[in-house]
Amino acid sequence: MNAENNIKDARPRTPNKNNTATYRDLVIFEERLRGNRTRLLKRKRKYETLLVSLFASLAYFFYAVFIDPSKVSVINRSVFMFHLLNTITLLSVAGGLVFFYRSGMYSEKIVFAQKFVPHCNIALSSFNLQFNTEQGGGLSFLTKIPKQFQDGFESYRKQYHARKKARQAKLKKSSSAQ
């Protein structure tokens, strides 16, 4: 057994020809994960804003209908119509909130976005990868991956992003020149 380990350690470590393809695939995968995370966070913000506006509307119309209702008089019919409109709107907003929760929209649009990174990390752990949210999100390797491979990926990632920025600058320059 020790002889096998010594033979493995004595072999020269040459970079694998397929590593660049692997690095490219990992960078593309990382970009997709980052894009999905960004898209989910935007959608989460949008639905949280909707939820907050529904709660604010519910609070306002609850106040308008129950706490400070307009005095209903036979002579002033417009006050009664205004109170009736507030009551109908209160029921509509309450129905909207019930629909928001009962249809699963809350768990689908808000909770799923919060659990995206933990779900990714559970799935990626079998590949000795982790998706971290620092610095805009990115893949990091667990300790079982050789340091040489990690360093090669980091340098390829930097080159990839430099090429991407150069392409974007070139496209921006050519579109502004027209």
What pLDDT is attached to residue 134? 83
Check residue 103 and give its pLDDT: 94
pLDDT in tens, 46-77: 999 999 999 999 999 999 899 887 665 555 67
Q: What's the 3-state SS for 161-174?
A: HHHHHHHHHHHHHH
Q: List, in sequence order, every residue forming a beta bridge with 141; answer none if it has no partner.
A: 129
Asked whether the beta carbons of 138 and 34 are under 8 A apart, the reply is yes
pLDDT tens for each residue of 71-122: 655 556 777 888 889 999 999 999 999 999 999 999 989 999 999 999 999 9
Q: What is the pTM of this model?
A: 0.76
CA neighbor of 60 nearest in space, from 36, 30, 93, 84: 93
Cα separation values, 82 from 63, 71, 72, 87, Å: 14, 11, 10, 9
